[in-house]
Structure 1
């Protein structure tokens, strides 16, 4: 094919196939800024609410089991609700779905913030609040590719990834001090305000779009949409592989679930166990922030797809070295390196968007997100039980070895699919 001058190509098409979008270019898009700001606000409020709930439940019950049970409620609803409710993002306008979920969650949190709320009612309200995150997240994930085209989507995902990790670290770091100052009920009220703020931003900055599914025969039932979404995701070889790449996180997230016993093993009298635990839990998110920035900024779109297999192996390989029981500095370095490899999820997400038709994105993203949470929850549960018998270091190493084996298989399967996806992307642009 003869070379085409950049000027002529830009005149006919929005961007060359290998052009890399910049962070400034993405942040200049008004609708993306609105989604980004709203997400950051509500996520920070959620981190404060999570700490507040733990304090509130423990103060009420003095039971570690009850406190852990309420925390477990944050995993269960999306696993159940994702496949069933994510289809709302395809049946109805996605902006309307997001607004409805924000307003409903704000109302539920306002009720939770009432002092003296019975424990059983508090659990029910927590379940409902988290359940509503499934259709909201599906609508938001499905809307983003409509706002950001091509490589802008990958860079926008990197911005969101960095923001998520940074807000989580900030929320957990300042959450205890904030709760001590505000009290748990005011912290819940603050989380209510963040959802209302997110809703106002969506109203003001995100434009209306029609529902993706429009048929003269009416909208299909939720059950039919769930079955159709499952056939779509698992009936396509490329999508199956990409979903497995996403669910691989169960292996490399497992060590974070055993951070407390790991910290006790590393305790040498210099730093307290809570401080060591905080350092361990912040290590992988810190690596992910670095990896997402470098991957989104300096690697070409096709280069990201080619590097996916290698980076997925990088997420798990460093954990194998935990078997030699390195000191704290060594463990932190290994976990940061594992987090850097996690940047492959950006490319997997972009490829998934490219392969899923727009009218089925909400349901598809909901199914993947449910499996993602299930993989993390089950892995952490198994890891905790195994660490009680074997100790945290061997369990982290075993998780790394199992994940490395799975990643190697996925990398081999991905070789043919990535060539097809790269060729399709170039043909679409040119």
Structure 2
């Protein structure tokens, strides 16, 4: 049975998707609110740029360890329960952080604790989405979610800064963040069905064995899944413009105003690209994934000539648009994973993506010590394009025809067997 292309209104007509979409958007904006508030709060108390950077980084680092370990809970318990429970827990932790009397060491511990549960929520949400949006609607839903995520990042940073500037109180921003998690928990608790995962005894789940590490074993043991995961991780080389915006602007002799525009360029491109690929058919998705990944690095290579800010913004936005391959790779990855293993496999892939983004930025920074920032960005772009070709050849992604129809994939087989108990 061929997959039918869905329309945006078909997806938004699904009440459970609207609940997941609003909850995700609130969580992402809340995360950005908290990061702005924390950076300002720590600098206000310590006047130390180093401590401020360390605390800010601590919101990104813990998930690298907790993603493979905690994501499996969403393969064992009701995914609705997992999501709203995580939101309540984060609301409590952020709420404590909003108390002005909390000492700095305790604040740092709370930051780490709150960020540890991010991967569990994300894994449960992504694993639930194919059940909420079966068939062609899933692709559109993923594209909407990806595009919204980019918009929420920009809006969260901007609004967080505006609220702090207007009120002079980072604690108020943290309190708003805590309330947003409470609202999200309520929406998920009363707006979703339980969405229990399929039995772990089915198919690849039983062969993977174990619990926390089963997702790693499954992905590593499947050539297609490993290739798609590697292609997702390659994004770490395409995101370096965000980290290099400030030194690149300095190379061009431009001030701080140019930095913000440069940092937003690739995010805007990804938002547009995510919407453009939303309604592609399954066959076209497979054929375009690798070419788009290859093309994503080419505009960054053009940065080598250090054009003016306007041209650079256009190039980086084009790179972001081509980076919509990420949505295509993620959709195919999720569809190939059995339902009972989805959260763990997604958790492993997500942890790798986060690590790759951090490493990409570190590599670009190191290169910029030995060459101009424009050249460092170009090197990373070239490496990313070359990497797409190598991954495609090594894992046979370009010509793979397996699971052409999502309804024939292992994931779909698990989807049809969802338990009905509450």
TM-score (norm 1): 0.90
**Corresponding residue of 1:391:** 372
**Corresponding residue of 1:76:** 61
**Corresponding residue of 1:402:** 383
Secondary structure in structure 1 of the residue aligned to 2:64: helix
Work out the CA distance in 1 between the residues paired with 2:130 and 2:223.
Answer: 22
Displacement after TM superposition at 1:128 (Å): 0.7
Kindly indicate whether residue 282 of structure 2 is the aligned counterpart of residue 296 of structure 1. Answer: no
**Corresponding residue of 1:261:** 247
Work out the CA distance in 2 between the residues paired with 1:313 and 1:230.
Answer: 26
Displacement after TM superposition at 1:384 (Å): 1.7
Kindly indicate whether residue 130 of structure 2 is the aligned counterpart of residue 155 of structure 1. Answer: no
**Corresponding residue of 2:179:** 193
Greater mean alpha carbon deviation, residues 246-255 or residues 204-213: 204-213
Displacement after TM superposition at 1:231 (Å): 1.4
Work out the CA distance in 2 between the residues paired with 1:63 and 1:204.
Answer: 44
Kindly indicate whether residue 385 of structure 2 is the aligned counterpart of residue 416 of structure 1. Answer: no
Work out the CA distance in 2 between the residues paired with 1:325 and 1:358.
Answer: 47
Displacement after TM superposition at 1:424 (Å): 6.5
TM-score (norm 2): 0.91
Displacement after TM superposition at 1:345 (Å): 1.5
Secondary structure in structure 1 of the residue aligned to 2:404: helix
Kindly indicate whether residue 317 of structure 2 is the aligned counterpart of residue 332 of structure 1. Answer: no
Work out the CA distance in 2 between the residues paired with 1:191 and 1:175.
Answer: 10
Unaligned 5+ segments in structure 1 are 1-15
Work out the CA distance in 1 between the residues paired with 2:333 and 2:126.
Answer: 11
Work out the CA distance in 2 between the residues paired with 1:396 and 1:79.
Answer: 25
Work out the CA distance in 2 between the residues paired with 1:247 and 1:373.
Answer: 8
Secondary structure in structure 1 of the residue aligned to 2:159: helix
Displacement after TM superposition at 1:143 (Å): 0.8
User: Does the CA contact (< 8 Å) of 1:110 and 1:192 recur in 2?
Assistant: yes
Cα pair distance change 1:118/1:348, threshold 3 Å: same
**Corresponding residue of 1:241:** 227
Please show how residues 6-405 of structure 1 align to structure 2 within 5 Å.
17-182=2-167, 183-213=169-199, 224-268=210-254, 273-297=255-279, 299-405=280-386
Displacement after TM superposition at 1:211 (Å): 4.6
Work out the CA distance in 2 between the residues paired with 1:259 and 1:325.
Answer: 12
User: Does the CA contact (< 8 Å) of 2:123 and 2:346 recur in 1?
Assistant: yes
Larger Rg: 1
Work out the CA distance in 1 between the residues paired with 2:372 and 2:156.
Answer: 29
Work out the CA distance in 1 between the residues paired with 2:334 and 2:341.
Answer: 10
1:42-81 per-position Cα deviation (integer Å, ceiling 9, x unaligned): 2112211111111001111111111110111122111010
User: Does the CA contact (< 8 Å) of 2:68 and 2:213 recur in 1?
Assistant: no
RMSD: 2.0
User: Does the CA contact (< 8 Å) of 1:310 and 1:411 recur in 2?
Assistant: no
Cα pair distance change 1:267/1:173, threshold 3 Å: farther
User: Does the CA contact (< 8 Å) of 2:244 and 2:364 recur in 1?
Assistant: yes
Work out the CA distance in 1 between the residues paired with 2:378 and 2:331.
Answer: 30
1:96-130 per-position Cα deviation (integer Å, ceiling 9, x unaligned): 11111101100001110010321111111011111
Secondary structure in structure 2 of the residue aligned to 1:421: coil
Displacement after TM superposition at 1:301 (Å): 2.3
Displacement after TM superposition at 1:352 (Å): 0.9
Secondary structure in structure 2 of the residue aligned to 1:335: helix
Work out the CA distance in 1 between the residues paired with 2:104 and 2:243.
Answer: 26
Unaligned 5+ segments in structure 2 are 414-422
Work out the CA distance in 2 between the residues paired with 1:331 and 1:172.
Answer: 22
Question: How many pairs align?
Answer: 404
User: Does the CA contact (< 8 Å) of 1:165 and 1:285 recur in 2?
Assistant: yes
Displacement after TM superposition at 1:213 (Å): 4.2
User: Does the CA contact (< 8 Å) of 2:69 and 2:213 recur in 1?
Assistant: no
Work out the CA distance in 1 between the residues paired with 2:311 and 2:97.
Answer: 43
1:183-239 per-position Cα deviation (integer Å, ceiling 9, x unaligned): 100000000001000000011210123354467xxx99xx92123221111100000
